[in-house]
Amino acid sequence: PELVNQIAAGEVIERPASVVKELVENSLDAGARRIEIDIEQGGARLIRIRDDGGGIDAEDLPLAVAAHATSKIASFDDLERVGTLGFRGEALPSIASVSRFALTSRARGTEAAWRIEVDGGRPRAPAPAQHPQGTNVEVRDLFYNLPARRKFLRAERTEFGHIDELVKSIALARAPVELRLSHNGKPVRLLHAARTEGDETRRISDVLGEEFLANSLRIEHEAAGLRLRGWVGLPTASRSQADQQYFHVNGRLVRDRLVAHAVRQAYADVLYHGRHPSFVLFLELDPALVDVNVHPAKHEVRFREGRLVHDFLYRTLDDALGGARA
């Protein structure tokens, strides 16, 4: 099983940021309102995620780190309409097979916390621990037992940059959740939970800067069971060239060709030559109409009605940008 998990890890865990992504998604799936992310040495030395979510029952701890054990779907049919970010049951065993791993958790409504350690894929017996309600996952020495992978880790700053970028994308999509990020003991981001629409707008400017908001249009449109909301940037002389492109489908950040094409087309008339559009967009649709099980890392999706989605995006954005043109 160790080898199988390490092979799965090869597909899901590319670098420290992939670990952070999987762990934070688990915290979100567990209903966390507050997530703390502590990183040391770009994640090569330590990745620690603490949440105040529902936690894991003691008897489920060994299962959580076992291959293909997910509590999120029970049948193949459920896969047709996944409402959670995770569903493959691969992340924890994969991460635990390539690190020194420890998970401490106290389930909602219980008095005792439990901790399980896994060293390079070998789980120890769970032991009693101290912890408030929620879950704490510690991942030390990532890839320590796969020297070839460890060697591929980039400079500390680069790896942390990937983590920060990931935290930003999650912060945009989950404004109601408080997020804290630290690196080598220094606070890097503190994002308070948004409770009002105004707070949500502030979250966008906290993450992307005042200038992004000042130079963007609000999008809010619904048709044919599709809902698009967010902000699209207008080209301005002063704004930097740096790409700020975030597209979320049902709360999941995706990179998708069809989406990219629709956006590019809508921008075709308004963009100065060679500039990249900035946007933060959230598309919501019936989960049954989008397949998220395309790749283990889950950043690709397949729309059941690609044409419909493409045209909806194009028209919505083109209308908004056209209005700004006039």
Min separation Cβ 224 and ligand ADP, Å: 31
**Alpha carbon 309 to its chain's center:** 22
Mark 239-278 with x for binding to ligand ADP (rule: CB under 6 A) and - for no binding. Answer: ----------------------------------------
Give the count of alpha carbons within 13 A of 225, CB side only: 9
Name the binder of 230 from Mg ion, ligand ADP, none, CB < 5-8 A by kind: none
Cβ 182 vs Cβ 37: under 8 Å: yes
Rounded to the nearest 10 degrees, the angle between the axes of helix 16-29 and helix 156-173 is 20
Given candidates 12, 42, 43, 90, which one binds ligand ADP under the rule CB under 6 A? 90
Mark 89-118 with x for binding to Mg ion (rule: CB under 5 A) and - for no binding. Answer: --x---------------------------
Name the binder of 36 from ligand ADP, Mg ion, none, CB < 5-8 A by kind: none
Of 87-95, 119-127, 208-216, 240-248, which segment contacts Mg ion by CB under 5 A?
87-95
Whole-number Cα distances in Å, 6 to 71, 99, 103, 259: 21, 10, 19, 33
Total binding residues for ligand ADP by CB under 6 A?
21
User: Which residues, other chains included, contact 155 with Cβ-Cβ below 8 Å and sequence gap of 6+?
Assistant: 42
Min separation Cβ 154 and Mg ion, Å: 25
Is residue 284 helix, strand or coil? strand
The torsion of the CA quartet 173, 174, 180, 184, rounded to 10 degrees, works out to -30
User: Which residues, other chains included, contact 77 with Cβ-Cβ below 8 Å and sequence gap of 6+?
Assistant: none
Secondary structure E strands in 184-260:
186-191, 216-223, 226-233, 245-249, 252-253
Output the residue with the shortest Cβ distance to ligand ADP.
86
Asked whether position 41 contacts ligand ADP by CB under 6 A, the answer is no
Cβ 250 vs Cβ 299: under 8 Å: no
Asked whether position 70 contacts ligand ADP by CB under 6 A, the answer is yes
Site for ligand ADP, residues 127 to 146, rule: CB under 6 A: 135
Asked whether position 244 contacts Mg ion by CB under 5 A, the answer is no
Tell me which residues touch ligand ADP (CB under 6 A). 22, 26-27, 30, 51, 53-56, 64, 70-72, 86-92, 135
Tell me which residues touch Mg ion (CB under 5 A). 26, 86, 91
